[in-house]
Amino acid sequence: MRTAKFWRSTAAVATVACLALSACGGSPTATAESSAGGGDDCFAKTAKELDDIYGQLEGLSMDQRTAKLKELAKDKGPVTITASTNPDDAKITYPAFTKATGVEVELQSADADSGRARLVEEIKACHAGTDVFIADATEVAPMEREGWLLPLNSPNLDAIPDSAKLSKYFASDTVNVFVAAWNTKQVKGGDVPTTWEEVLAHPKAVAVDVGDYVWFATLVKDYFVKEKGMTEEQAIDLFRNAASKMIPTDGHTLMVQLLAAGEFDIIADGYQHSVQSNVNKGAPIAWKDPKPVEPIVVRPGGDAIPITADNLPGALLYIDWTLSMEHAKLSVSMNRTTVLPIEGGLDPNIKAIPVSTDLINDPDAVKKWEDLWESVIRQTGKKPLSK
């Protein structure tokens, strides 16, 4: 099961590893300090290089900045990106970046857990490997707490809405939007849910993803408690009472595929881009016809530069590009939800609530809600469906 418990073990591993390094003990420059507010001599070279680059970029226009970064990246080779990018998306996104900048991409494809494990090993060895790490904000934030990220400074950050600006150490160019969806052959008329209460009270099978404690916690705290006036315990009981009808699944893509195949009536926490992509292909599913279940829950992504990055100008070029209007339009064409204000981005007419910030910044809150969600999943009494 994909959980935050990974961090309660690997954080300790990284701490021990740092103590074991003979070079530990220094601190990087003031401008390019790591997210821990300090650092080790083995990372000071990277911090100083980033400091020098930011100095060269200061006062430049966006076009001048891009030209300068291209010049600095010219002899650096490819930018190494660790991400769980969908293979179809990767075939479009990374060649488009190379076409725009001239910088090749070396993709290390990995799910969030494997990617983070790889970074831990790189940090343990002070080994230059990943230049850009891409995952959900809730998966990147623990890296900030451990001091494993370098600060981002991009003019394109100015266009990002405040709801997606969660840190100066990672940027959000797209968001994952959790939506309820239903099979239109099996759920019709008055049975189509219009509220979260109706989703949870549906008499037949409702699928949920085993890893979505952030969706669960945000609905409990910011919808059922804040908006509906329930106590936290009353709100959690809604999920516990629905557990016997829940079908746990391990993977959002699989969940949508099984919904389209009629394996269950409703999915409670599908990704909007995956659901809409299947709608566009003619699958018998819907999420906003006649209207969406509101509020939808929004979880920003996180693009970050680790403290072991080698190709810093290439990494900064990628961050700048991924926050550009060019990339936003490309994201929409792939049914991704961009944070920029364009058609196909977040729909301002649909009520949305962002993931609770304590699920980004507070490890104790993460543990609490992860454990609560795991208890709901266990209460289903079913083995999670997986590929």
Choose the weakest-confidence range: 6-10, 110-114, 203-207, 307-311.
6-10
Residue 18 has pLDDT above 80, yes or no: no
Q: What is the pTM of this model?
A: 0.74
Confidence of residue 271 (pLDDT cuts 50, 70, 90): very high
Burial 327-338 (b: 16+ CB within 10 A, else e): bbebbbeebbbb
Digit-coded pLDDT (tens) for 321-347: 999 999 999 999 888 889 888 887 778
Confidence of residue 123 (pLDDT cuts 50, 70, 90): confident
Residue 36 has pLDDT above 70, yes or no: no
Distances (CA, A) of 193 to 181, 189, 385: 9, 9, 24
Distances (CA, A) of 63 to 69, 102, 282: 10, 15, 42
C-beta neighbour count of 222 within 10 angstroms: 16
* Cα 132 from chain centroid (whole Å): 14
What pLDDT, on the 0 to 100 scale, is given for residue 95?
A: 97
| Average pLDDT estimate for 289-296 | 95
Q: What is the dihedral of CA 361, 365, 366, 368, to 10 degrees?
A: 180
Choose the weakest-confidence range: 39-43, 258-262, 292-296, 330-334.
39-43
Residue 309 has pLDDT above 50, yes or no: yes
Distances (CA, A) of 248 to 254, 261, 348: 11, 16, 31
Question: Within 146-284, where are the H helices?
Answer: 196-201, 213-218, 232-242, 252-260, 272-280
DSSP state of 301: E
Contact 313, 241 (CB under 8 A): no
Contact 155, 242 (CB under 8 A): no
| Average pLDDT estimate for 84-106 | 92
What pLDDT, on the 0 to 100 scale, is given for residue 35?
A: 52
Residue-by-residue DSSP string for 92-108: HHHHHHHHHHS--EEEE
Contact 204, 264 (CB under 8 A): yes
Residue-by-residue DSSP string for 10-57: HHHHHHHHHHH-TTTT----STT--TTS---HHHHHHHHHHHHHHHHH
Confidence of residue 2 (pLDDT cuts 50, 70, 90): very low
What pLDDT, on the 0 to 100 scale, is given for residue 41?
A: 63
Confidence of residue 128 (pLDDT cuts 50, 70, 90): confident
Residue with tokens 């599908």, as numbered in its chain: 270
What pLDDT, on the 0 to 100 scale, is given for residue 178?
A: 96
What pLDDT, on the 0 to 100 scale, is given for residue 236?
A: 98
Question: Which tokens hold the place of 293?
Answer: 């279940």
Digit-coded pLDDT (tens) for 344-365: 777 878 999 988 777 877 889 9
Choose the weakest-confidence range: 61-65, 105-109, 110-114, 220-224.
110-114
